[in-house]
Chains A and B, each alone.
Chain A
């Protein structure tokens, strides 16, 4: 195969994926709020149970804590792009459904600004919406009849993230980020009255909600000892302004008509809560890294309501292990990195006093892209279990497959050999 051919092939695969709207989930829980937080991830965080406040950023882009960019080192550039495929099993206790969703998921770059500072730029999904709930039966008030509706939602919020990190001392790194969150969530509800007096009638409501807002965050990492690092960061509360296009159409006695067609109407903004994050990274022996993280997202403070569920404070616990072998070995097998993680998230949504919590088990592998290379192909698998079949909730098992290329090499060094 010629280089040119491969180039075209790659462009042909990557570009259309990037161009289409993200649809990285099929979770019915994405009905709420701005959808489910994205399972896609840059670098290795998701293989480590989504944690990594204290992980150094010299081999991988770590956007969990902007301070990590302080350890990129001089004259380095990291480039990361990833794909996500998600297979979910949805279960309400009586029946089960499978669905698959997947897409190109992120693009990230980190580059040194000097020996002790670096910046990062990334674009990745922040939250995903993708659901289709059909056959929702509701009572027609004032009668014994029901009507049936189908609700479809699609969309995503994207996160354009600019980070800056600096090493202040040998041990302390500070960082901050600015994140521009933007996206479109579309929802369509189609109502078919169909029976009784309203035969031949229906209603369709299409809403396109555009959100955008800026979020700021700060973080630090401190090496307490050479093998023990503490990291912490805060994501500040922010409000995403929202505008809506809405088209309401109806069919009355078999005649279709437009009821409302409103463009760019200001609607209630969505508030993202303050998040307090802390974590440690510990290396008891050289090849092994243990990470533990805790996050608290103060949804209560946002005082928001959703039609069905209530927003509650969300806590996120994660635990991760990485076994690195010997990165400097000349044997390829020894350079492979193995990762495993566990995550428990209490969820920010409560339906009928039932919290929608989730557990995730992750496993990953980092394959070096060459004996001398510190670039990696990272493949991680996650099994997420969310919700339960108690009450009216549904339970989801989500298998995620994350694949990303984390490319790292000397950028500014002059080529010595031509």
Chain B
């Protein structure tokens, strides 16, 4: 039905002259409303006004109410729960890749929990890009070797007590540095001559000095120097036949620090200092062998091992063996490079659905406090903690990502007294997936340090039944349908 209001109908009629209005259904069934001229204009004005009014109130735009919250309740209940069961244990990664780092660890210290931590460095030195240089192994016939030294550049990393003396024994490798499976692990080792080429007793100065200078016997260097001069040593392969590489081994009873040496050729090298006699004044020159920056397979790595742990960590000889916190004074451990990590499982998470009503997980935060006594000036806490998902065999499956990036544990309460210091780790994404997975998996979380393969940082965490602070999972659960 169409409606028309006409202010002045084309057909004049007597009724209109009398000022009446009519609804007339004409033959086409169209209903027309004829209004008197004056009233029609008035009506139209009103309609227009109304239209304007109505249009000015947009239907989608509802005014907000800042008053009235008091009698309005949310339809949703949020509940915070921190009593869900979790289990913590320590296990050991069988093999940490220690050859794709920029650092070589060296040193030894004794830890109250983990035991003796010893780092040994293995590496090969060559002339980089020798294949593309015309004659890299060229020395003037009259050049005379003055001295030879191994320069190990500090990369500023250290752990434990650097004020104590360390013994650095330089051994000649008996085999070339070639990995069995493309990479070297923290457990990898290579045979070396049991008699060291040189030994150095030193106090590490990772910040005050650029590098550690280890003088090697002239006899050791003369042999290589002479061969180059006589052109019997002309390329890297011939060099490897003579010198497969070095092993840096600390003394068995050292108890100091573990420090980091840079792998790069600017800071770490084997240097031959030699003199070329000239007419008036002799000129001095050097020949450097460095760690290959672009090797086909890695040519440098560190081996990090522990033993004599007071907490029973020595028994973790296989990745699938776990040491529950309940069997270790309610503690779990993380020891980088040596491979110790803390596993967290949530055996009864699905009982969250026993809460009446329909709900969903809005957040889950794992709160774990480090053992206060384990934190000292020599063994400080790091600001963050890494986390990943592991399967039943304790193999890392994936890392967890939130919308803000990879999940990290964050150290909070640092400004306050130690009692509140703890790591908070958002694990909502992981637990939500566990809650909704149709087929139950044994997936769990593993906590470990950042730079796990190139530090020896140690952490002691308080377990789920610890007296001081029990590790807990704080869940925020929303019930939207009672």
Measured in the bound complex, the distance between the Cα atoms of B25 and A415 in whole Å is 11
Question: A393 touching B21 by the CB < 8 A rule?
Answer: no
| B66 nearest CB across to chain A (Å) | 6
Question: A372 touching B18 by the CB < 8 A rule?
Answer: yes
Question: A417 touching B14 by the CB < 8 A rule?
Answer: yes
**Which of A40-48, A175-183, A246-254, A290-298 contacts the other chain?**
A246-254
| B375 contacts chain A at the CB level, 8 A cutoff | no
| B415 contacts chain A at the CB level, 8 A cutoff | no
Question: B426 touching A253 by the CB < 8 A rule?
Answer: yes
Q: CB-CB < 8 A to B432: which residues of A?
A: 252, 257
| B74 contacts chain A at the CB level, 8 A cutoff | yes
Residues 183 to 201 of chain A near chain B (Cβ within 8 Å) = 189, 191, 193, 197-201
A13-B48, A201-B428, A372-B19 known; A3 vs B54 contact (CB < 8 Å): no
| B468 nearest CB across to chain A (Å) | 20
Q: CB-CB < 8 A to A191: which residues of B?
A: 74, 76, 78, 478
| A33 contacts chain B at the CB level, 8 A cutoff | no
Question: A143 touching B426 by the CB < 8 A rule?
Answer: no
Q: CB-CB < 8 A to B78: which residues of A?
A: 138, 140-141, 147, 191, 193
Please pick, from A85, A189, A257, the residue contacting B53 in the complex, using a CB distance under 8 A.
Answer: A85
Question: A197 touching B22 by the CB < 8 A rule?
Answer: no
User: Which of A250, A253, A377, A405 has the most chain B CB within a 10 Å cutoff?
Assistant: A253
| A216 contacts chain B at the CB level, 8 A cutoff | no
Scan A382-414; emit 1 where CB is below 8 A from any B CB, else 0.
Answer: 000000000011100000000101010111000
Q: CB-CB < 8 A to B56: which residues of A?
A: 100
Residues 76 to 102 of chain B near chain A (Cβ within 8 Å) = 76-82
Residues 75 to 101 of chain A near chain B (Cβ within 8 Å) = 77, 79, 83, 85, 90-92, 94-101
| A221 nearest CB across to chain B (Å) | 26
Q: CB-CB < 8 A to B429: which residues of A?
A: 252-253, 255
| A102 contacts chain B at the CB level, 8 A cutoff | yes
| A236 contacts chain B at the CB level, 8 A cutoff | no
Question: B24 touching A131 by the CB < 8 A rule?
Answer: no
| B40 nearest CB across to chain A (Å) | 8
Question: B23 touching A411 by the CB < 8 A rule?
Answer: yes
Question: B51 touching A405 by the CB < 8 A rule?
Answer: no
Question: A97 touching B65 by the CB < 8 A rule?
Answer: yes
| A26 contacts chain B at the CB level, 8 A cutoff | yes
| A7 contacts chain B at the CB level, 8 A cutoff | yes
| A314 nearest CB across to chain B (Å) | 19
| A373 contacts chain B at the CB level, 8 A cutoff | yes
| A41 nearest CB across to chain B (Å) | 15
Question: B480 touching A6 by the CB < 8 A rule?
Answer: no
Measured in the bound complex, the distance between the Cα atoms of B61 and A21 in whole Å is 12
What does DSSP make chain B's interface, helix, strand, loop or mixed? mixed
Question: A308 touching B73 by the CB < 8 A rule?
Answer: yes
Please pick, from B2, B7, B25, B77, the residue contacting A141 in the complex, using a CB distance under 8 A.
Answer: B77
Residue pairs across A and B with CB atoms within 8 Å: the count is 275
Q: CB-CB < 8 A to B11: which residues of A?
A: 418
Question: B39 touching A369 by the CB < 8 A rule?
Answer: yes
A3-B10, A370-B35 known; A198 vs B65 contact (CB < 8 Å): no
Scan B1-22; emit 1 where CB is below 8 A from any A CB, else 0.
Answer: 0111111111101110011111
Q: CB-CB < 8 A to A417: which residues of B?
A: 13-15
Question: A6 touching B6 by the CB < 8 A rule?
Answer: yes
Question: B363 touching A197 by the CB < 8 A rule?
Answer: yes
**Which of A148-156, A226-234, A275-283, A357-365 contacts the other chain?**
A148-156
| B33 contacts chain A at the CB level, 8 A cutoff | yes
Q: CB-CB < 8 A to B39: which residues of A?
A: 369-370
| A375 contacts chain B at the CB level, 8 A cutoff | yes
Question: A134 touching B428 by the CB < 8 A rule?
Answer: no
| B156 contacts chain A at the CB level, 8 A cutoff | no
A200-B403, A252-B432 known; A101 vs B57 contact (CB < 8 Å): yes
Q: CB-CB < 8 A to A11: which residues of B?
A: 2-3
Measured in the bound complex, the distance between the Cα atoms of B361 and A392 in whole Å is 32
Measured in the bound complex, the distance between the Cα atoms of B19 and A23 in whole Å is 37
Measured in the bound complex, the distance between the Cα atoms of B78 and A140 in whole Å is 5
| B31 nearest CB across to chain A (Å) | 8
Measured in the bound complex, the distance between the Cα atoms of B60 and A153 in whole Å is 10
- The residue on A at minimum CB distance from B35 is A369
| B68 contacts chain A at the CB level, 8 A cutoff | yes
| A353 contacts chain B at the CB level, 8 A cutoff | no
Q: CB-CB < 8 A to A28: which residues of B?
A: 65, 67-68, 72
Q: CB-CB < 8 A to B69: which residues of A?
A: 133-137
| B59 contacts chain A at the CB level, 8 A cutoff | yes
Please pick, from A79, A103, A394, the residue contacting B67 in the complex, using a CB distance under 8 A.
Answer: A394
A132-B65, A191-B78, A248-B360 known; A377 vs B43 contact (CB < 8 Å): yes
A7-B4, A31-B72, A191-B478 known; A252 vs B20 contact (CB < 8 Å): no
Closest 3 pairs between A and B when the two form their complex, measured CB to CB: A254-B403, A99-B63, A372-B20
B: residues with CB less than 8 A from A are 2-11, 13-15, 18-25, 31, 33, 35-36, 39, 42-44, 46-48, 50-51, 53-57, 59-60, 62-82, 358, 360-363, 365, 402-404, 407, 424, 426, 428-429, 432, 474, 476, 478, 480
Q: List 26 A-B contacts (CB under 8 A).
A: A9-B44, A10-B4, A10-B5, A11-B3, A85-B54, A100-B56, A101-B62, A104-B54, A131-B62, A138-B74, A140-B78, A142-B79, A145-B80, A191-B78, A193-B363, A201-B476, A202-B362, A203-B362, A252-B363, A252-B429, A253-B404, A370-B20, A370-B36, A372-B20, A375-B23, A407-B23
